[in-house]
Homo-oligomer: A and B are copies of this chain.
């Protein structure tokens, strides 16, 4: 009896978790493809293979589901900058960060698109996050960049704009993938395309931001 109750509870809990997960995944795909307004709960439910009413059972409103998707996306963004510390060599820290960001663009393009769409349309759900968490985080990491500049390892650039440029070039391959594919003449971006992108971006950023070794003070 006790075992059965527990079993049922676990089963129900597992079903809930599984259904919520499927809804979140489906929602990320649909929100990425159509934006918040363009996405319909019907399409999300269909893609998750659940009746529409169930979607509203797990997430009361479309906005609530959207918030949950955004929260998932921010988890990816968060802490990606953690390894950006002043005790490291800028070359390595920057190259690693570029590779990591570009990797997210390849593996989770929809996450990037949902975020891009949100910001593009004025960040109605994320204004507070951008002005508080993100802003503070960039302030922090700007100190690291200033340290490397003071050491004569980086050119005297503006740290915040430096981060804007890193984000722009790496997220471009997710957000504008249709354009990238059209220009490259690809049905979809291959591993080789991403490898080429990584090489080019890394070279651009490192040559563009670092002081060449031979001109540094000894």
Contacts and interface: CB of A to CB of B under 8 A. Distances in A.
A127 B204 contact: no
Interface in A121-154: 121-123, 127, 130-131, 134-135, 138
A205 interface: yes
Interface string A158-189: 10111111011101110110111011110000
A178 B208 contact: no
Given A121-B38, A161-B197, A168-B168, A179 B130 contact: yes
A116 interface: yes
A3 interface: no
A183 B135 contact: yes
Contacts of A131: 182, 185
B178 A130 contact: yes
Q: Of residues A38, A172, A200, which shows the largest number of chain B Cβ atoms within 10 Å of its Cβ?
A: A200
A89 to B, nearest CB: 19
A162 B200 contact: yes
- Shortest beta-carbon contacts, A-B, top 6: A208-B208, A37-B38, A130-B182, A168-B172, A204-B208, A161-B200
Interface of A: 33-38, 113, 116-117, 119-123, 127, 130-131, 134-135, 138, 155, 157-158, 160-165, 167-169, 171-173, 175-176, 178-180, 182-185, 196-197, 199-201, 203-209, 212
